[in-house]
Amino acid sequence: MTPLSVLSGRTVALTRSPDRAGAMLEALELAGAEPVLFPVIDFEVPANTGELDAAVLELARGSFDWLVVTSITTVRALAQRAMVLGLEMETLVPNRTRVAAVGATTCRTLEAEGIRVDLVPAGERSGQGLLEEWASASLAGTVLLPQADIADPALRKGLIELGADVVAVAAYHTVDSPADPERSLLRPLSLPGPADRQAQVEVLYADDFAQRQRDGGIDAVVLTSPSAARRVREECAQLNRLVKVVAIGRPTSAEATRCGFIVAAVAPEPTPEGIVTALEQAFAPDKPGACEGSENLSSKEHS
């Protein structure tokens, strides 16, 4: 008989919007969990796209030696601007320009859009891992680095310190969910998996999530970015001490800790499989309640 998964029957709240959650939802369901969505952040195109559009056009002309992509959302932002500018994603990156992706999921997303990827960190799948790979390979040249408006500057600074000539542009703005429909990132991505999976999953908003977790109806919450950690703290001043808090990576874990959460586990890599592994670690029999000691912190202390 197949042993019962520690996630079987566990309700896991994933802090992503339906259009960005497909692969993680599938992985959670396959592991026996019952996922719900708690979209706390969303993304919009910049109010002024002049700098981004100029960078995209220069990329298509072959002006950069490298394109460095740090997230699926960046891929979506590039795809949306390319569409507006009349460019095809398959031809957006010329042969002379090499592409680096921070993680496997971002790599697969780029490849699904017709963009080859030349470099993915072999070790830690993060900006720091990419810097270590960059340094070990003695890479250089001009780099286009499209990121969120609130992106940690460590990657840009690290590349510059390693000798790269970096052009960093805001590819999208991080906002509270939901985004303004007129500025939302709407361009669909060519991601594998069932197209209707997201539509079958319950979506919770702030009041619903707060009530559900207070009543014991949420077993774990997955924080998918530092900004998601901040927004959960703002929307839910007190978490039930039995709710396990899981972070997608070290930066998210650090921000969650700063917000007053006790992180039960950190995903070994920012992938659906990594999230499942972290949740399994969090629910191991010897793990204490993830939020013990954090329930008395108010949201104002960490806003």
Over the stretch 17-29, which tens digit does the pLDDT of each residue have? Answer: 887 788 889 999 9
Q: What is the pLDDT of residues 116-145, one digit of tens each?
A: 999 999 878 788 899 999 999 999 999 999
Chain-centroid distance, C-alpha 146: 15
pLDDT of residue 298: 30
pLDDT average, residue stretch 164-172: 98
pTM (two decimals): 0.80
- Residue 114, Ramachandran bin (φ over 0: left; ψ between -120 and 50: alpha; else beta): left
pLDDT average, residue stretch 204-221: 94
Q: Is 188 helix (H, G, I), strand (E, B) or coil?
A: coil
Instruction: Return the exposure string of 23-34: e unless at least 16 CB atoms fall within 10 Å of the residue's CB, then b.
Output: bbbbbbbebebe
Domains of the chain (ranges, CATH numbers)? 11-39+203-302 (3.40.50.10090), 44-175 (3.40.50.10090)
With CA atoms as reference, report the closest residue to 113 among 85, 154, 82: 82
| Lookup result for tokens 């774990």 | 220
